[in-house]
Homo-oligomer: A and B are copies of this chain.
Amino acid sequence: MTPTAPTPAYRRLSVEERRSQLLAAALSLFAHRAPEDVSLDDVAEAAGVSRPLVYRYFPGGKQQLYEAALRSAADELRHCFDEPREGPLLPRLSRALDRYLAFVDEHDAGFSALLQGGSVVETSRTTAIVDGVRRAAAEHIFQHLDVTEPGPRLRMTVRMWITAVEASSLIWLDEDKEPPAADLRDWLVEQFVAMLSVTARRDRQTDALVRSLAEDV
């Protein structure tokens, strides 16, 4: 690998571009297969490069590549939550859910493998990445609800709904993506309101929120 005689492929891309290319190849493999079933050879082949090149960028091997791919998927997922703070609240939630469900649809096998646990590449670091996405989702929701200091009951309700969304996405994948995504999305939005309404019976902050949601059409 002397600088005077690089192979064309090595010359074309900058370090950053090459890294992104390898990550994209890895992500699309990890999206549709369990991590156990993806080898570094597969990644090299998908990216059209040699195995040693993959190792040069990811000296930690598959574990490092998996974590990097997961981080990039987590960033993508966070973007699903980006929604202007304008207009009625529930349609904002619907739009974010549409993007989220499209993501789940696109990364089906990887999403299942990751969230169902027990994977060989699962570590406290991968768990932390997933938890970061959950936290980001909760923060987005509180921002949209205009709540700066959610009390424990409201927090518990929102976190519970987020978990319920995850669980139903996994079941949805299990059930061959039935019902259609739009039905699932409407049902999840209604579940959100129903869960908040139960909490509202015992919690003033949540009660005020539910009232404002009812008025905000």
Residues of A within 8 A of B (CB): 116-119, 122-128, 130, 152-153, 155-156, 159-161, 163-164, 166-168, 171-172, 175, 178-179, 183, 187, 190-191, 194-195, 197-199, 201-202
Residues of B within 8 A of A124 (CB): 118-119
Once the chains bind, are A190 and B183 in contact (CB under 8 Å)? no
Once the chains bind, are A171 and B160 in contact (CB under 8 Å)? yes
**Nearest Cβ on chain B to A91's Cβ, whole angstroms:** 18
| A-B contacts besides A156-B168, A187-B199, 16 pairs, CB < 8 Å | A118-B122, A118-B125, A118-B128, A119-B124, A152-B178, A156-B171, A159-B167, A160-B167, A160-B168, A164-B167, A183-B202, A190-B201, A191-B195, A191-B198, A194-B197, A194-B198
Residues of B within 8 A of A172 (CB): 156
Once the chains bind, are B171 and A153 in contact (CB under 8 Å)? no
Cα separation A191 to B199 with both chains bound (whole Å): 8
Cα separation A124 to B164 with both chains bound (whole Å): 22
Cα separation A160 to B187 with both chains bound (whole Å): 12
Once the chains bind, are B118 and A126 in contact (CB under 8 Å)? yes
Q: Which of B117, B122, B164 contacts A160 (CB 8 A)?
A: B164
**Nearest Cβ on chain B to A172's Cβ, whole angstroms:** 8
**Nearest Cβ on chain B to A41's Cβ, whole angstroms:** 23
User: How many copies of this protein are present in the complex?
Assistant: 2
Contacts A122-B118, A124-B118, A194-B198 given: A167-B171 contact, CB under 8 Å? Answer: no
Q: Which of B128, B164, B175 contacts A163 (CB 8 A)?
A: B164
Residues of B within 8 A of A159 (CB): 167-168, 171
Contacts A127-B116, A160-B168, A202-B183 given: A175-B195 contact, CB under 8 Å? Answer: no
Cα separation A159 to B194 with both chains bound (whole Å): 17
Once the chains bind, are B175 and A202 in contact (CB under 8 Å)? no
Cα separation A152 to B168 with both chains bound (whole Å): 11
